[in-house]
A and B are shown apart, each in its own frame.
Chain A
Amino acid sequence: MRATSFCSHRISIVTGHYGTGKTEFAVNLALAMAQEGDQVMIADLDIVNPYFRSRERRALLEEAGVRLISSSQACSDADVPALPAELLTILENRGIRGVLDIGGDPVGARVLARFQPKIVQEDYQLIYVLNANRPEVRSAETAITYLRGIEATTGLTCTGIVNNTHLCGETTEEEIRKGAALAEQVSKETGIPVLCHVAEERFVSALSDLPETVFPITIKMKKPWE
């Protein structure tokens, strides 16, 4: 399994309803790409959530050779919707693989709109992360409403779905399969392919029958008692 096989574009833009686990996926994706020898930068563009943002894992990412850029380096806990100028490095330097971690919902995706003219000139992919346990996106209908909302806000077209269905520490194989079924339905109705199913390493072998790649992760966004 190579991360760059299912996320083959130079820039991966990670979006979705908030709480679906975008940051966990984005951080794991960036680390996997770095492991595969790419020069990777991850941009934390979350202007929606004040906690649990990828910037909290700066040390971990930097140790793995992933450069993190976030909205305010000096004040990483502020909730100001300021965007880092360094974001342009990802957009302009074609030698870099970029992962953009976007805040939840069309509201959070608004940060991308001003970069739309630049992004469309690049080899990018807008990824929609799904979690079938999030009440607001658990049906294909509502999940597609959010997806279209994000596309409308950003002016970008979504070309990949990621099933990241989990229940934190209570995740089971069945939960992931439930998400796979939802992802398949969303895919069928929109024509957007399912890129992968995200699963903690302990579930990977049991899910080998799924038609799409299973992307093994380890939990990086831990709570203080975990």
Chain B
Amino acid sequence: MAKELWKGNEAIAEAAIRAGCDCFFGYPITPQSEVPEYMSVHLPEHGGVFVQAESEVAAINMVYGAAGAGMRAMTSSSSPGISLKQEGITYIAGAELPAVIVNCMRGGPGLGTIQPGQGDYFQATRGGGNGDYRTLVLSPSNVQETVDFVQEAFDIADQYRNPVMIVCDGLIGQMMEPIEWREIPKRKLPPKDWAAGGRKGRDHHNVINSLYMDPEVCDEHNRHLDEKYAEIAKNEVRWEEVQCEDAEIVITAYGTPARIALTALDALRAEGIKAGLFRPITLWPYPEKALHELAAKEHVKAFLDVEMSSSGQMIDDVRLAVEGQKPISYLGHAGGVMPTVEEMIEAAKKALKEVK
């Protein structure tokens, strides 16, 4: 199929429509406003429902309601707006409902800046809301991956009855890239016989709920959730390794910094420095085992973690995976500044020099 030129945010919206998104509830915020804008025009053309809610809190609770009724529901926002949605996300996770949430991250904290950021890693992977829950977090690093992941996210959410979050930084949402619309393999999905979509001849009403007053019952509910998260962790871990086979210095990065790292790798290799990239694609579940095994390889001398975050957030997961086997250094900027190719080259050389 011929390639087309799409802006990241409008491609996210189109991908969701192609995946059979029934309802979109959103609220504008830079740099993701093209998602609701595109949805408002095109989702109704496909029989779907678009609502611009009165706030982010309202939007996520509309997702909660629609998902509970068995709809394929979605919302999107950017960092401060995603913070507002956290209460709804923990309710959706607690009630075991499928939903797709896109965070087009900008620099923070607070209102921060409208330029790209990655400071929401902790929020996305540790659960920004209350309680013991997990959201599966997919992190694309270009527009093609973004549209592929958005389409797959609806299936993943339905399969596990769990919210799936796609975190891309503002640059991915705002940039134009050639993409092709690929057929995404469909998963075998269980029927939504739990949905509160009418009694339909059953002898009972379906109830959507996250309230478990009896502590024993709530404990049991948490145990059940935990088993589900273990299943997700077993089945859904994704990562990419680029030129890691003989790498002495391995850059760990996701999203846009991983993209910048590819250019840095070429430059480092051209100078005879064996550099590789380890790119987590699922931020939760984290590719801990793969990174641990890579760190154990004799040829790997050091790691350089690069993020759009002041002193790093994913670096905690890198440390947990590497388990002290090799030294880890850090390069990062927050507040909307992107690391440059030159900075990465310099930091990689420095990290390698320290161990040699």
Contact status B262-A131, CB under 8 Å:
no
Partner of A170, one of B3, B30, B114, B259: B3
Nearest Cβ distance between residue B81 and chain A, in whole angstroms? 14
Q: Given A50-B31, A168-B176, A168-B177, verify A135-B6 contact (CB < 8 Å).
A: yes
Contact status B113-A133, CB under 8 Å:
no
Distance, CA A50 to CA B338, complexed state (A): 15
Distance, CA A77 to CA B337, complexed state (A): 11
Contact with B along A133-176 (1 / 0, CB 8 A): 11100100000000000000000000000000011101000000
**Residues in A neighbouring B178, C-beta threshold 8 A:** 133, 167-168, 170
Chain A positions 45-101 with a Cβ under 8 Å from a chain B Cβ: 49-52, 77-79
Chain A positions 1-22 with a Cβ under 8 Å from a chain B Cβ: 18-19
Contact status A77-B176, CB under 8 Å:
no
Contact status A224-B114, CB under 8 Å:
no
Chain A at the B interface: mostly helix, strand, loop or mixed? loop
Contact status B171-A224, CB under 8 Å:
yes
- Check B256 for interface membership: any CB of A closer than 8 A: yes
Nearest Cβ distance between residue A25 and chain B, in whole angstroms? 14
Distance, CA A75 to CA B6, complexed state (A): 28
| Range, interface on chain A | 20 to 34
Nearest Cβ distance between residue A65 and chain B, in whole angstroms? 27
- Check B263 for interface membership: any CB of A closer than 8 A: yes
Q: Given A79-B30, A224-B256, verify A19-B114 contact (CB < 8 Å).
A: no
Nearest Cβ distance between residue A75 and chain B, in whole angstroms? 10
- Check B129 for interface membership: any CB of A closer than 8 A: no
**Residues in A neighbouring B341, C-beta threshold 8 A:** 224-225
**Residues in B neighbouring A223, C-beta threshold 8 A:** 171, 175
- Check B170 for interface membership: any CB of A closer than 8 A: yes
Q: Which residue of A lies closest to B259 (CB)?
A: A225
Nearest Cβ distance between residue A131 and chain B, in whole angstroms? 6
Total interface residues on B, CB under 8 Å, equals: 27
Contact status A19-B7, CB under 8 Å:
yes
Most buried by A among B5, B115, B170, B341: B5
Distance, CA A226 to CA B176, complexed state (A): 14
Nearest Cβ distance between residue B324 and chain A, in whole angstroms? 31
Nearest Cβ distance between residue A113 and chain B, in whole angstroms? 20
Q: How many A-B residue pairs have CB under 8 A?
A: 65
**Residues in B neighbouring A51, C-beta threshold 8 A:** 31, 115-116, 170-171, 174-175
Q: Which residue of B lies closest to A49 (CB)?
A: B174
Q: Which residue of A lies closest to B7 (CB)?
A: A19
Q: Given A131-B5, A133-B4, A135-B4, verify A50-B256 contact (CB < 8 Å).
A: no
**Residues in B neighbouring A167, C-beta threshold 8 A:** 3, 5, 178
- Check B128 for interface membership: any CB of A closer than 8 A: no
- Check B340 for interface membership: any CB of A closer than 8 A: yes
**Residues in A neighbouring B94, C-beta threshold 8 A:** none
**Residues in A neighbouring B276, C-beta threshold 8 A:** none
Distance, CA A135 to CA B17, complexed state (A): 15
**Residues in B neighbouring A133, C-beta threshold 8 A:** 3-5, 178
Contact with A along B52-95 (1 / 0, CB 8 A): 00000000000000000000000000000000000000000000
Q: Given A49-B174, A51-B115, A79-B114, verify A134-B30 contact (CB < 8 Å).
A: no
**Residues in B neighbouring A134, C-beta threshold 8 A:** 4-5
Chain B positions 1-48 with a Cβ under 8 Å from a chain A Cβ: 3-7, 30-31
Contact status B174-A52, CB under 8 Å:
yes
Show 17 residue pairs from A and B whose CB-CB distance is below 8 angstroms, ordered by the A residue. Answer: A19-B5, A49-B174, A50-B31, A51-B115, A51-B170, A51-B174, A51-B175, A77-B114, A131-B5, A133-B3, A133-B178, A135-B4, A168-B177, A170-B178, A225-B262, A225-B263, A225-B341
- 7 cross-chain pairs, A with B, having the tightest CB-CB distances, nearest first: A133-B5, A51-B174, A167-B178, A225-B263, A225-B260, A19-B176, A224-B338
Which residues of A does B touch, CB under 8 Å?
18-19, 49-52, 77-79, 131, 133-135, 138, 166-168, 170, 223-226
